[in-house]
Amino acid sequence: MTDTPSIEELEAQERRLVLPRFTYEDAWALGSLLVELARDRNAPVAIDIRRGPQQLFHAALPGSTPDNDAWIDRKRRVAERYASSSYLVGARFRAKDTTFEESSRLDPNLYAAHGGSFPLTVEGTGVIGTVTVSGLPQLEDHAMVVEALERFKEDL
């Protein structure tokens, strides 16, 4: 993904990627798919999947560092708080000619509106968790999560 998606495109992704369910087994399947995508691309990423406060999946691939886990936590908090992808939240602030850091009034040591965390939304329930990737430029982190969710949803 090289073109920066519009806010409308990002919102459409979230509407399209609503899942019929999300179980422990689904977390393993989605996480394993993300690991496969990352390995195929030699992507030095860390991957995190949570349902509520419980971590259901975590993987750190070669080249990733503890810093990626810190980024995961910061991006995940944004997706949880706003019930939107961390990339979309940042884009909404940029569209208002400001930044998340300047205008959110949230501690940037705890929150980062950078791409890579996406809400896990279940039909009839709403947002139940997050899937997050960290280690690539933010648009690439976001795109990897979206690609995995699209493939995962096709197989449900």
- Residue pLDDT, tens place only, 29-41: 999 999 999 999 9
> If we measure between CA atoms, which residue out of 64, 79, 78 comes closest to residue 110?
78
Asked if the structure places residue 108 within a domain, the reply is yes
Q: How many structural domains are present in the chain?
A: 1
- Residue pLDDT, tens place only, 125-143: 999 999 999 999 999 999 9
pTM exceeds cut of 0.85? yes
Tell me which residue range forms the domain holding 140.
7-155
Asked if the structure places residue 97 within a domain, the reply is yes
Distance CA 55, CA 48 (A): 7
**Chain position carrying tokens 């329930």:** 125
Distance CA 15, CA 91 (A): 17
Asked if the structure places residue 127 within a domain, the reply is yes
What's the chain's Rg over C-alpha atoms? 14
> Which residues, at least 6 apart from 46, have a Cβ–Cβ distance to it below 8 Å?
58, 59, 60, 61, 64, 68, 69, 72, 133, 134, 135
Distance CA 153, CA 156 (A): 5
- Residue pLDDT, tens place only, 29-85: 999 999 999 999 999 999 999 999 999 999 999 999 999 999 999 999 999 999 999
Asked if the structure places residue 30 within a domain, the reply is yes
CATH number at residue 11: 3.30.450.150
Cα atoms in the 13 Å half-sphere on the side-chain side of 5: 21
Asked if the structure places residue 1 within a domain, the reply is no
Asked if the structure places residue 34 within a domain, the reply is yes
> Three-state SS for 149?
helix
Asked if the structure places residue 63 within a domain, the reply is yes
